[in-house]
Amino acid sequence: MLLPCLIATALAGTDLRALPVGGMAVAFWGVLALGTALSVGLARLLGHGHAAMTSVLQGGIRFNNLMGFALAGAFWGGPGIAMAAVATGLIVPFVQAVATLAFGLGRDERVRPLRLARQVLLNPLILGCLAGFALSLAGGLPPGLGPMLRALGQASVALGLLCVGAALTLQGLGDRPGTQAATAVLKLLVMPAMTWVLCAALGLGPLPTAIAVLFMALPTAATSYVMARAMGGDAPLMAAITTSEHVASMLTLPLWVWLLTR
């Protein structure tokens, strides 16, 4: 409930026509498509079955948006949070659809496009993005509603980061360490590097490029474990990948932020 408020309020006060939404969409979706192919290829190269492949896939393309909002706000202020909201609105539908489809293909039942679309559209982050876009087009937040939504949004980052830390566990880090290391290299180094190259090729400005690279450099979402356990994935491997990526990001994220802020 809190994070959608942050996204909606950030987008509501933004002139979307002044943002390079089209260029960012091409950059994000292009890199995520490459990341999907690389994740599946990596899992196959390591000899994993379908369940473990879904964990490598989630570790390769999903992102911890709470960390992204915290960093974007700390280094680029309000414009950074607004751009982070746009990034979330572009990334979440793609990764949600790909992850759901990957789990569905491992089952005997037929993949249902309408069910897949419903799961994506009812994601709280997508609803927050849609509300923010609508409020932006309508001229911004209503005067009586704005302060409450902003207060709820500001609470999301602090509480979200506490939840991220509480979700991590050092148990199981010895489970398939080679797979963990390879997935972390893909997510924390290869994905942001490809994003920077593509953003430069598209001619995006410094701030859109910085936010795009930052979000691709984030470790996987802490909720990846929940999805793996609920949908028949390799939950122990997913828990290990989630923890190892967050630990490794303590070294890689400062490096990317240092490069981007320069």
Runs of H (alpha helix) within the chain: 2-12, 21-45, 50-61, 65-105, 113-121, 124-138, 146-167, 177-185, 191-202, 206-216, 224-230, 235-261
Instruction: Give the Cα separation of 103 and 53 in Å (integer).
Output: 10
How confident is the model at residue 29, as a pLDDT?
A: 95
Confirm if 208 and 199 have CB atoms less than 8 A apart. yes
pLDDT tens-place string over residues 180-220:
999 999 999 999 999 999 999 999 999 999 999 999 999 99
CATH of 2-261, one of 1.10.490.10, 3.30.390.10, 3.40.30.10, 1.20.1530.20: 1.20.1530.20
Type of residue at 1: M
Residues in the chain with pLDDT < 70? Answer: 106-111, 163-164, 166-168, 172
